[in-house]
Chains A and B, each alone.
Chain A
Amino acid sequence: MTGDAATGGALLRTALYDRHLAAGARMVDFGGWDMPIQYKSGIRAEHLAVRSGVGVFDLSHMGRLYVRGPDALKLVQWLATNDAGRLGEGRAQYSLICGERGQILDDIIVYNLGDQYLMVVNASNRLKILAWIDEQRQGPLAGLDVTVDDRTFETAMIGFQGPESQRLLQGLVSGDLSTLRYYAAVASTVYRKNTLVARTGYTGEDGFEVIVSTKDGPEIWDVLLEQRHGVQPVAAALGARDTLRLEAGMPLYGHEIDEDANPFEAGLGRVVKLAKGEFAGSKALSEISEKGVERKLVAFELTAGGVPRQGYPVLEGESAVGQVTSGNVSPSLGTPIGMAYVPTRLGEPGTNIAVEIRGKVVPARVTTLPFYAHKTKKIAPPPSARA
């Protein structure tokens, strides 16, 4: 028994907690979990390992909610904004859970596992989403024949991310990974242990996420970190995960999205499927969609030195017109990058803005996402087209 009730307010620990301590990780409170923010080699080295080889992440803190029963799809369709009705077996989709005002309660991945759905929710939002599901089941979802099973504590989840991930993981799994598409998942074995292997991630690289039993977690972690084909996988922690997802332009709950944000201003309208029928928040979302939004999430780069950080004001002239949601110096590019909410009229790429950093006005320019694109997805222009 390692559930919330058993911990008496102390931080939760994943199945890999001892591995993190043994590796000399620095631990922090992340969404109520005692998690590594970096290992000994540091965030930059971990980040670059994921860009050039493979990084291995403990993602076990994320909530894993299994939905099964005759009405499983009905429940998922009501809760989540994307259209799970069009989600084929063995496929995954990015989705949002929104409240009655259209506010974002969480961003999630929904997996269609055939006999059930899996919703992976943010660690910090797991209890809130479980309470929201209960509330919905006493109201609009009353009478559904469905069970929601929180298996966060019975399972471990490990990310295996980077350009070498397929080559290295292939030696350990049953089945051919080259046929596993992006955002597809398959029941498999890793090192003879039953797992779910999904081609998903949060790094902007090719990569996989595997779910195993808590019991098998440490052994699988060790095996995944073994050197193969001359490539040494590197344990990577939350610090690198944050800079990687920032370069990839992916939102992080609590930064780009929260209950003060709606999907349209966050640029996530593509996963709000108003045509699928009524769902939680759909009335409000439909109104917001028609009315349009006054602010917009944009990517920017500083054009002078500094490090943008969450909460810093975005300036137009002398007046604060927006706020930075995330920022850092990009480990891959070496330049200061960030995301921010700005008035819609300032949202066009190329627009000059400024960020206030400790009272100083630092010039910035709105740019396009992602900051960093996975190499094999980028088609190089012919030499003549290069400036």
Chain B
Amino acid sequence: MDPQDRRYTSEHEWVKLEGDVAVVGITDFAQDQLGDVVYVELPKVGDKVEAMKPFGVVESVKTASDLYAPVSGTVAEVNDQLATEPQLVNDAPYQGGWMIKIQPDDPAAIDTLLTAQQYADEVAKA
């Protein structure tokens, strides 16, 4: 089971509220499907992101895949470590492999996303 301290999207992102910023990454299922991640294209601090619109791209040896913002807001921080160590997305998708932090327009929007159980059910159906 994926961590229960955060919410999920059907596009395989996770989002976790830490103080007043929402940390965003991709799920263990997503990194496993992608295979070895070799490049992550991320927005800049201050960029606006919109819920369920692409904010970046994750590229593995096999393929490129869009990253979707779980909530609307402003990019507060970007995980610069992924520029040199993209494999962190594979090794630690819920920790060191986080991608961006969003200052959400409406923090309550996070609670409308999938719970770990609901996400697990979606993955099982796919």
Q: Which residues on the A side are within 8 Å of B87 (C-beta)?
A: 44
Known: A38-B35, A42-B36, A43-B36. A331 touches B41 (CB 8 A): no
Q: How far is the CA of A358 from the CA of B54 in the complex (A)?
A: 13
Known: A38-B35, A43-B35. A328 touches B61 (CB 8 A): yes
Q: Is the CB of B62 within 8 A of A37?
A: yes
Known: A37-B62, A239-B61, A239-B62. A305 touches B36 (CB 8 A): no
* Interface members, chain B 22-41 (any A CB < 8 Å): 35-36, 38-39, 41
A243 within 8 A of B: yes
Q: Is the CB of B61 within 8 A of A306?
A: no
Question: B: which residues have CB within 8 A of A?
Answer: 35-36, 38-39, 41, 57, 59, 61-62, 64, 83, 87, 90
Q: How far is the CA of A307 from the CA of B38 in the complex (A)?
A: 8
Q: Which residues on the B side are within 8 Å of A38 (C-beta)?
A: 35, 62
* Interface members, chain A 27-53 (any B CB < 8 Å): 37-38, 42-44
Q: Which among A37, A42, A306, A331 is the interface contact of B39 at CB below 8 angstroms?
A: A306
Q: Which residues on the A side are within 8 Å of B59 (C-beta)?
A: 307, 329
Contacts A/B (CB < 8 Å), 16 sampled: A37-B62, A38-B35, A38-B62, A42-B36, A43-B62, A239-B61, A239-B62, A243-B61, A306-B39, A307-B39, A307-B59, A309-B64, A328-B61, A329-B39, A329-B61, A331-B61
Closest residue of A by beta carbon distance from B57: A358
Q: Which among B35, B64, B83, B90 is the interface contact of A307 at CB below 8 angstroms?
A: B64
Q: Which residues on the A side are within 8 Å of B35 (C-beta)?
A: 38, 42-43, 239
A270-314 to B contact mask, C-beta < 8 Å, 1/0: 000000000000000000000000000000000001110100000
A55 within 8 A of B: no
A336 within 8 A of B: yes
Q: How far is the CA of A37 from the CA of B87 in the complex (A)?
A: 19
Q: How far is the CA of A305 from the CA of B80 in the complex (A)?
A: 13
Q: Which residues on the B side are within 8 Å of A358 (C-beta)?
A: 57
Known: A305-B83, A358-B57. A329 touches B38 (CB 8 A): yes
Closest residue of B by beta carbon distance from A309: B64
Chain A residues bordering chain B, tally (CB within 8 A): 16
Q: Which residues on the A side are within 8 Å of B36 (C-beta)?
A: 42-44, 331
Closest residue of A by beta carbon distance from B36: A44
Q: How far is the CA of A289 from the CA of B57 in the complex (A)?
A: 43
Q: Which residues on the B side are within 8 Å of A331 (C-beta)?
A: 36, 61
Q: Which residues on the A side are within 8 Å of B62 (C-beta)?
A: 37-38, 43, 239
Q: Closest CB-CB distance, B49 to chain A, in whole Å? A: 17
Q: How far is the CA of A339 from the CA of B62 in the complex (A)?
A: 16
Q: How far is the CA of A270 from the CA of B25 in the complex (A)?
A: 50
Q: Which residues on the A side are within 8 Å of B57 (C-beta)?
A: 358
Nearest 6 pairs between A and B by C-beta?
A: A329-B38, A44-B36, A307-B59, A43-B61, A307-B39, A42-B36
Closest residue of A by beta carbon distance from B83: A305
Q: Is the CB of A306 within 8 A of B38?
A: no
Question: Given contacts A43-B35, A329-B38, A329-B59, could you give 14 more A-B pairs where the C-beta distance is less than 8 Å?
Answer: A38-B35, A38-B62, A42-B35, A42-B90, A43-B61, A44-B61, A239-B62, A243-B61, A305-B83, A306-B41, A307-B64, A328-B38, A329-B39, A329-B61
Q: Which residues on the A side are within 8 Å of B64 (C-beta)?
A: 307, 309
Q: How far is the CA of A27 from the CA of B5 in the complex (A)?
A: 34
Q: Closest CB-CB distance, A363 to chain B, in whole Å? A: 15
Closest residue of A by beta carbon distance from B60: A43
Q: Which of A38, A307, A331 has the most CB of B within 10 A?
A: A307
Q: How far is the CA of A305 from the CA of B57 in the complex (A)?
A: 12
Q: How far is the CA of A306 from the CA of B57 in the complex (A)?
A: 10
Q: Closest CB-CB distance, B117 to chain A, in whole Å? A: 26
Q: Closest CB-CB distance, B88 to chain A, in whole Å? A: 14
Q: How far is the CA of A358 from the CA of B56 in the complex (A)?
A: 11
Q: How far is the CA of A307 from the CA of B65 in the complex (A)?
A: 12
Q: Closest CB-CB distance, B40 to chain A, in whole Å? A: 9
Q: Closest CB-CB distance, B32 to chain A, in whole Å? A: 9
Q: Is the CB of A305 within 8 A of B61?
A: no
Q: Closest CB-CB distance, A50 to chain B, in whole Å? A: 14
Q: How far is the CA of A329 from the CA of B36 in the complex (A)?
A: 10
Q: How far is the CA of A38 from the CA of B61 in the complex (A)?
A: 11
Closest residue of A by beta carbon distance from B86: A329
